[in-house]
Chains A and B, each alone.
Chain A
C-alpha cells in the first residue's frame, strides 16, 4: 500500500501571501490530521478531518484552515503568512476509529519557508 503523500515537499513564500498544502491519505483511511513542527514549539496539532468535516481543532489562529474532499484527500491553507509560520507541516492519516486502537501514519511533510 502506498503511504501518505504530501505535496509540495518544499515551498518558499513571502509575508502576506497565502499557501495551500495537499495531503493524500493511505487508501482506505478516512481521517486526516495536520501538525505543525517547529524547533521552538515542537509538534503541535492543527486539526483533524473526517468525512469532509472538521472533527478536532488545535489552538491556532483562524488564518489556518483546512478541508477534506469526498475521496479523503485533504488540503490546508494558511492565509496572510507570517515569518513564524515557517515550519514543517505534517499530515497523518488513520482509519478514524474513535478508539485506542487507531494509529496515525505520517507523510514526509511540507517544508514551508516564509521570507
Chain B
C-alpha cells in the first residue's frame, strides 16, 4: 500500500520568511513518482513538480526548492522569501510504478501574512 503523510496541518509565516513543508511517503516499490501541487483559494490544483525515485537531485525553481531524501522517504518543499501570493494549500502526492492511482497527502495550509 502507498501512503503520503503531511504532518503539518497549518503553517503561518510573515512575508519574506522561509517556509518548509514536510512530506513523508511509504511505498514498497523501488520505482515511484512524487509530486507537489498548490491549491490557491480558487480551488484548482496547480502542478509544481514531478520527481521519479531514481533522481535524488534537489531542484530549485525560483523561490521554490525541493529536497528529495530516499533514505528518510521524504520529499520536502521550501518556499524562500515567502509572499502573500504563496498562501494556499500544498499537497504532496505519490504514484507507484505498477499503478494508475495518484495518492495525495492531507495537505498543508500555508498562510503568509503581510
Decide whether A and B are members of one complex. Answer: no
Q: Which residues of A contact B (CB under 8 A)?
A: none
Q: Which residues of B contact A (CB under 8 A)?
A: none
